[in-house]
Every structure is written in C-alpha cells, then in structure tokens.
Chain A
Amino acid sequence: MDEVRLKCDVLVIGSGAAGCRAAIEASEHSADVILTAKGVFGKSGTTNLACVVYDAALGHSDPNDSPQIHFEDSVVYSRFLANQELVRIFTWGAPKTVYDLERYGLPWYKTEDGRFYQLNSPGLRYNRGVHYNESTGKKVQTALVRELRRPSRRNVRIVEDLFIYRLLMRDGRVNGAVGFDLQQDRFFVIQAGSTILATGGMGMAYSVTDMEAGACGDGLYLAYEAGADLMDMEMHQFFPTAFVYPESLRGVIVTSSQLWKMGMKLYNDRGERFMARHFPDECEDVPRDILSRRIFMEVAEGRGSPHGGVWADTTDIPAFDDFKKDRPRTYVWKEKFGVKTDRFEVAPTYHYTLGGIRIDAGARTKVPGLFAAGEVTGGIHGANRLAGNALPECMVFGEIAGNNATAECRTELPPDEQQVAMAKSKVLELVSGGEAGEIPYASIFKRTRRLLYDKAGIIRTGESLKEAAREIEEIKGLLPRLRSGAGLSGKFAMARALETEMIVRLGELVINSSLMRTESRGAHFRTDFPETSPAWLKNIVVHWTGEEARYTTTPVELKYLKPGEALRDVKSANLSV
C-alpha cells in the first residue's frame, strides 16, 4: 500500500465541535494545522446530533442567572464527582462561546428585543439554554465548518475519510499519528508538533445508542495506549427517551427535556403514570439518570410496553401543531414510517460518555504533546451531565486545547520508523487470511456491544459485572484471530475490525471500574450497593503501564463547593434514588 507523509504543527483528530474549535484557535495563532475526520468533514461526528439546548449563563431570559449558579448546578448534578477547577473554567467561559458562534454565523433564537431566548431543562435553576429549534448541534457544526472554510483559515488542511488508529511516540512525547485512508489504498503518516484528540464518546460500544455510528471511543483508546490517564470509565449517561419500535429505529432519540414541561407524560403498560408514584411533584421532570433507571425498572419488573419500553403520551401537549413544527426530527419518523407520535414506546438509549481522558486546566493529558477536548475528556460532568452542557464544553476546551497545543508544539521530532512499520503491519494482518478458524469482526463487535448494554449498562450488580469481566476476558483472547473478512477493498470492514478491538479493550476498563465503585452515584447504579457513600467521593483513574491496566483512586478536590453548601442541594438529595 502507498503512503502519504505529512508534517504539521498541530494535528487535530476529530472534526466535531471540539476539533473544529481547536483547529480555528490554532489557526488563529498561525499554526500549520491538519484536521482529520473519520467520515465526511462537517457531517460525521455526534455534534450534528446534539439536540436543543446550549447552556451559557448569559442571564438574558432570567437576570438572576450567573456563571456561579451554572457552576453550582453542574457540580451538584455531577453528584460532586466533577473536577471543580474544570467546571469553573467551563461555566465562566461558556457565555463568550455563544458570541463566538454568533460571529461564525449561527442565528440563535432571540426574543423581540434582541436578547437570547433561553430555555430551561431538568436540573437548571434558571432558564439558561440558548438554542436553534431542536437542531442546535447541527447549527453549531455548520457555523464552525463555515468559519474553517474562510480563506483566512487556509493554514488548516482538512483530511476527511481518514481513520487514525495509532499515535506515534518519541522520547516519551507524542509526535504524530498513523492512519489509513478510507477512500484509496494508502496509509497516512503525520508528523505533528502537538496532537489534539477530539474524537468524542464511545456510544457504539453499547448496542442501543443515539450516537453517530463512528463513535467507538477512538481517542480514549489512543490516549490509553499512549499512557495517558482515563478517569470515571464507569460513568455513562443514558438518555431516558428513545424509540423502541419499530426495531430499526431503536435508539433514535426523542428530544424530550422540554417536552415534560409542555405536557408529555409516561405510562406503563397498565396505564399508570409511574413517575408520579416516585416523584409526585416533579413526575417525569427529574434528572436523566433517575428517569432512565425508573423506566428500566418498570420494564424489568414486567410493567413495560410490548417491545420493552414504556408509553410516551403527547396528547396533552396543548398546541400539538407547534410540537410538529418545533420537533421536525421526531415528527419525520411518523410521516415516513407510520410511528404514532401521540402515543409511542420509548426506552433509554446510550447518550453520553461522562468519563474519559484526564486533562488539566490547560486541556493537557499526562503525556507531553498530547491534548484532548470535548466528550473524549472526563472530569467536567462527573457522574451526570446537565442537558445543554455538552456543546459549550466542546467550545470552551476546544479553544484552550488549540491555544496550548500551538504554544507548546515541538516540530523537530521525526516519526519512529519501527512504530510506523508496526502500525502498518497491524492493518495488513487484519485483512489477510480468511482461513478456517479466523474470526469475522462482526460477531465480536455485536457480542461486545450486547454484553456492555446488558451487564454494564443502566443497572449493574456485582454478579453481572463479574460475569461480564469473565466474558470480556474470553473475547480478548479471540482478538489475535480477528479478521476483517474482506481484502484491502473492504475499507469499512477494516475500520470496523480495528474499532472492535478498541471497544473490547475499553469495555474491559468500563467493567472493572464499575466493579471497583461499590456504591451508586449518578449514572452508575448498582443494586447490591444502592446508596451513595461519602467515602466514594473519589475518581477511579486507570492507565496502561505498557504491560497491564493499573487502577488507582484519587479523592475529588472540593475546592469551591462542598456537599450541602449549594442551594439546590437539598432538593437533589431527595432525588438521589
């Protein structure tokens, strides 16, 4: 296979909001940037799928709001597991990013007097979410892409359909990456002064997800392999309402955070509004982790709808025509596939990877030359994420990463040819053979996703996790025999085979971290340890030593806010299931 050699100051892997923002910032500081996308630039990635709100404490719709209150809401919602320094940077930085995006051309919804029109969602003390109907994420992505296409951004070279699967190291520093082209038969070897990972979450490691189909945790795996710390790998957020039926729409999200206030209700198969049983005041308008768990329990206890969900009822929404106009994404499925939108089955779907690469306040990982921003990082959302906190996180930390990666870049280190050769042979091995006894990737891919959803998903027990650990060990033993099943022309099978290895290795970290955390907190719920324990106010951190995964715990630094100090705290304590 041919090879293309490229050299740049800053390499950005991933072209969602965080990656694009980092590339813009590096370009602003006159760095020579390469931005890679695994799919179509500006179209692939999960940013396009982000729903309604973009939280920034501008105080337009409610003058009482402030970054301090945004900070408190976020830390309390994270069940005090978040890194408070990062949350502080994020909440104080979010308002500026709204204006940045406006400058890039995003037409935010505004009221008649020209102020931002902000919405509320569960867990927010005041109306905070600026938005553009229900496709805010798509608008954010489009604005960033438009900015990157301006002539003054010519120092950003964009390479799309490029699957980066190895980082290169020299003298303990990341100095580039190897990938293969999904369009032609060739490898890319990129030498970079610094590298930013912005590859998003690992939703595809779970069998039911609303993420884009490329979100296999690439960046998490690359950083882990390079020796960086991963934290909170047991924390995975599920979105409470996604279609269950018809089968092929399973996991497609019904954007609901505001619908509860408009009058959407949930019923079990007996016609009981089960959330009223647990929370007579809030009903469905509770944090996502609690609602997801309650829906899961209804189904597990045999009160679910025919296809394993619960019934969502929209007949009480006063102006249903407005709903249609405001939620075209949900409505389109009715028109095309006859899904009833007044009463339909919903169940939780994998939504957001809360844990991830541990970064410092400057978006640096532990490994010199390696930076990370966006969903791929951990520590900002702790054990649960507020609706609307994901996109501003990408914008704030994308900017910081772009800035620091440019300032600290060292371009003189050439790639280690031995590592390049090893990376290449890895791919050539995957496509070779097809002999008897070799294992096609698809079976392992499916099996791992199923395993994580069933045994390391919304509800966990020590027993199921131990079973999962045994099974993942068995699957790991099969990896050396994994094959793509097609020759060099089966590009996506090649990519999927490498991704299979990624989700298996990351899945092991998820299972082991979940086993370690002997309590329930936010998105992590164990039936054998249903209480939240103050002793577990610490993060589980894992890194690869070169031979084994090493797990450690570090206490959370309660720098600005301690449990019991926040106003909202009293209420959320009652909600902690």
Chain B
Amino acid sequence: MLKVRIFRFDPAVDEKPRYDVYEVEREGKLRVLDVLEYICENIDPSLNFRVYLCRDAMCNTCFAKVNGKSRLTCLERVPEGGELVIEPAGNFGLIRDLMVNYSRHSSERQAG
C-alpha cells in the first residue's frame, strides 16, 4: 500500500489548506499522475488537478511538487517506499487543490 498525502484547498469554501491522506494500491501505478487519476476516479472525485493533459511529456502542464520537488507528474516515478506528498507547483497562482494558473503573465482569460 502506498500512503499519499495531498494538498487540498478550495478558496471558495475553505479558510485554510489541509492535507488529505489516501491509501492506494501500488500495483500498476508507475507514475505519480497514475496515482492522481486513480484517486480522482475511485476514491475522491472532488480532487482537482489538471486532467486535460497529454500524458506523453509534451504539454508540460502536469507540474506538481512531489515530495517537495517540482516535477512533471507524468514523468515522475512513484517512489519505492515511504510516503508520497503531492502539493501544487510553486510560483504559479493557486486555483484549487493541485490546479494552478499557468497564464499569469499573459493576456489570457481577459474575457472573464
């Protein structure tokens, strides 16, 4: 079993961030992204992380801090032992849970 601690924060509802802990079967999960997808589909559908991803190391939008280090989750191996801590990538505006805003410096979203 793999113990996963995930950063959770919804600015619309929560006063401050918290960490949720999930227990996940390690079988067949090579990459950190697989763990996130598994949790969202099978344990907690309220978890928000960017889902519309290439899963092929091309789009570079699956960044997260994995055990304190900024990584592409599709290219990061699930560690052999110990706990997995997943937090939103630094230096980007936080939207909700692990979802960050990559377009901070550009003109996008000007319509809203």
0 or 1 for each of A434-474: is its CB under 8 Å from B? (1 = yes): 00000011100110000000000000000000000000000
Residues of B within 8 A of A253 (CB): 56
Question: Which residues 48-94 of B have a CB within 8 angstroms of A?
Answer: 48-61, 75, 77
Taken together as a complex, chains A and B put the C-alpha atoms of A486 and B97 apart, in Å, by 14
0 or 1 for each of A34-60: is its CB under 8 Å from B? (1 = yes): 100011110110001100000000000
Residues of A within 8 A of B44 (CB): 486
The residue of chain A having its C-beta at the shortest distance from the C-beta of B112 within the complex is A4
Any B CB within 8 A of the CB of A489: yes
Please count how many residues in chain A sit with their CB below 8 Å of the partner chain's CB atoms. 54
Contact A329 B47 (CB under 8 A): no
Taken together as a complex, chains A and B put the C-alpha atoms of A555 and B13 apart, in Å, by 57
In this complex, which of B28, B45, B101 has the most chain A Cβ atoms within 10 angstroms of its Cβ? B45
Given A40-B102, A329-B58, A332-B57, A490-B45 contact (CB < 8 Å): yes
Contact B31 A248 (CB under 8 A): yes
Contact A489 B13 (CB under 8 A): yes
Contact of B55 among A154, A213, A246 (CB under 8 A): A213
Any B CB within 8 A of the CB of A6: yes
The residue of chain B having its C-beta at the shortest distance from the C-beta of A494 within the complex is B45
Contact B41 A39 (CB under 8 A): no
Taken together as a complex, chains A and B put the C-alpha atoms of A13 and B109 apart, in Å, by 15
Any B CB within 8 A of the CB of A212: yes
0 or 1 for each of B26-53: is its CB under 8 Å from A? (1 = yes): 0011110010000011101111111111
Residues of A within 8 A of B24 (CB): none
Given A159-B111, A248-B28, A336-B77, A489-B103 contact (CB < 8 Å): no
In this complex, which of B47, B50, B59, B96 has the most chain A Cβ atoms within 10 angstroms of its Cβ? B59
Contact of B34 among A135, A248, A332 (CB under 8 A): A248
Contact A138 B58 (CB under 8 A): yes
Any B CB within 8 A of the CB of A492: yes
Contact B12 A185 (CB under 8 A): yes
Contact of B109 among A149, A158, A213, A252 (CB under 8 A): A158
Taken together as a complex, chains A and B put the C-alpha atoms of A353 and B61 apart, in Å, by 25
Any A CB within 8 A of the CB of B95: yes
Contact of A34 among B50, B52, B75, B111 (CB under 8 A): B111
Taken together as a complex, chains A and B put the C-alpha atoms of A109 and B103 apart, in Å, by 30
Any B CB within 8 A of the CB of A527: no
Contact B95 A248 (CB under 8 A): no
The residue of chain B having its C-beta at the shortest distance from the C-beta of A434 within the complex is B45
Taken together as a complex, chains A and B put the C-alpha atoms of A556 and B62 apart, in Å, by 44
29 A-B residue contacts at CB 8 Å? A4-B111, A40-B61, A43-B60, A44-B52, A44-B61, A49-B54, A135-B58, A138-B58, A149-B106, A154-B107, A158-B108, A158-B109, A158-B111, A159-B108, A159-B112, A160-B103, A212-B59, A213-B52, A214-B51, A249-B30, A252-B55, A253-B56, A442-B42, A485-B46, A490-B48, A491-B48, A491-B96, A492-B40, A492-B49
* Other A-B pairs beyond A44-B61, A329-B57, 5, CB < 8 Å: A49-B59, A149-B106, A484-B45, A489-B12, A496-B51
